[in-house]
Amino acid sequence: MDLQVEHLDTHEVRLTITVPDDVVARAQRDVARKLSKDFRIPGFRPGNAPLNVVMATVGPEAFASELANELAAKVYSQAIDEAGIEPYGPGQLEDLKREPTRLIVRIPLEPVVDLKDYRSIRLPAPVVTVTDEEIETQLQYLREDNAVVEMVERPAQAGDVVEAVIVGVSEGKEVLRILPRPLVLDHERVAIPGLVDALIGMSAGEHKDQTLTLPDDFDEERLRGRTLDVSIDVQRVSSRVLPEINDELAQAVGPFDSLVQLRDDLRRRILERKQRQADQQYAGQVLDTFTNLSTISYPPAFIEERLSDALVEFKEDVRRSEGMPFEEWLNIQNKTEDEIREELRPNAEARARRGLVMREIARAEKLDVSDLEIAAEVERELRLFGNDNSRLRRMLQREENRRSIQNNILSSKVLRRMTQIAQGVVDDQAGASQPAAEAVSEQAAQENLTSG
């Protein structure tokens, strides 16, 4: 079997397979036999019509298509092995040529990553501090949480707490409904411009109609910039008195004897939170640095599969966050599914590239996950929901869930190793048995080491 391999710029190969005459003849007979079973040919028993009769019955194009499939089934795997090709997915038959018979197949290749001199990467670790202003902000939140709220029989004033039913209609359709819940009449705490001013002066039992315009950065994307006809029915007005920031407040909010102890505890907790956030951001910067250094090659099919996965996730997010079918959401946005798919492409490609780099780092650094680590993670998750949850235990023991746990642990290990390299503190003996680091677990969960 003669083979010609042409490497394409798309990380694919065009493989031309010259098929021996005896293989072609055998394939023609097999195709004729199959087609004569599928098509009733007068004068011949099923499967026994001659080749020329079968070709005349089904037509040369249909016969050639069946012959191409038959030849591919007979020679494709052998040709791939002989050519030393590592396919990412199934090849696509581009053409069948005759005299001699040649199959021309376009084959996507497995992604390849060249990490370059990744061990030379250095990035300074983040330094986190806590300011007095941040502590004062937290103390103000504690004041808010411990405010004394009392119902009053007077019109609402700035700073009061109002409970009201608020319904917004746009273009004849209800698009906003706020059920009775406490609203603090503070412009910085209410996202809808004009709503606080509309509520100030209203009393319990009072109704008001108001026209309001939502800002362009409103939380719900579908409502941004809309003008609403709003009906307001106030049910309760309460005054709100904030406590002083002193030892009494400290004693009320926790096991503290003094305001000094409360401030120290706030400083510690703020520092821990900021450190976690900084570590996550740092891990992302390190990952992007490794990715930008690397040379990454992959076929179009690889990204198309990642993009299809991203679209499925996006549809689920729309259904969950917007509370409507994806098709209805598309109509509101005046977009097509193909347009959304293309909008997702840059992010899907970036995630795919990062995932490929992480997978290659795992190989290069010989990182793996033991069964003991998977078992320990299963037990940890069980403790979060109660160790006696037998249903959850069975679910976590399923093979697909164990693979997911394994991938998350390995992702965390890879990111940890990358941050160690970036800081110049690599521990070469710590590859296979350390638990996942909390600092990088969120970033790791977003990447997929098994992609491709």
Q: Is the pLDDT of residue 328 over 50?
A: yes
Domains of the chain from N-terminus onward: 2-110 (3.30.70.1050), 148-241 (3.10.50.40), 266-445 (1.10.3120.10)
8 Å CB contact between 431 and 390: no
CA distance 345 to 310: 9
* Average pLDDT of span 82-104: 91
Q: Residue 215 in contact with residue 193, Cβ under 8 Å?
A: yes
**Which of 392, 437, 387, 400 has the alpha carbon at shortest distance from 415?**
437
Question: Residue 331 and residue 334: Cα distance in Å, rounded?
Answer: 5
199 backbone dihedrals φ, ψ, rounded to 5°: -80, -30
- pLDDT tens, residue by residue, 387-444: 666 777 778 778 888 888 999 999 999 999 999 999 998 765 544 444 333 334 444 4
- As beta bridge partners, residue 15 has 5, 105
Taking residues 325-336, what's their average pLDDT? 92
- Burial of 331: CB neighbours in 10 Å, binned 0-12, 13-18, 19+: exposed
pTM of the model as a whole: 0.72
Residue of 157, 162, 158, 185 lying closest to 237 (CA atoms): 162
- The answer to whether the CB of 317 falls within 8 A of the CB of 311 is no
Mean pLDDT taken over the chain? 89
Cβ count near 336 (within 10 Å): 10
Between 98 and 415, where is the model more confident? Answer: 415
Give the residue from 110, 95, 109 showing the smallest Cα distance to 17.
95
C-alpha span between 96 and 67 (Å, rounded): 9
14's tokens? 């065009």
In this predicted structure, which of 178-192, 248-262, 312-326, 350-364 has the lowest mean pLDDT? Answer: 178-192
User: Amino acid letter at 29?
Assistant: R
Which residue did the predictor score with more confidence, 342 or 322? 342
Secondary structure (DSSP) of 378-415:
HHHHHHHH-TT-HHHHHHHTSHHHHHHHHHHHHHHHHH
The lowest-confidence range among 80-94, 198-212, 213-227, 391-405 is 391-405
Structure tokens at 55: 């070709």
Can you give the pLDDT at residue 443?
A: 46
CA distance linking residue 101 with residue 75, whole number of Å: 12
CA 37 vs. chain centroid, Å, equals: 49
Distance (Å, whole) CA 183 – CA 400: 45
Q: What local confidence, expressed as pLDDT, does residue 45 receive?
A: 74
pLDDT class of 450 with cuts at 50, 70, 90: very low
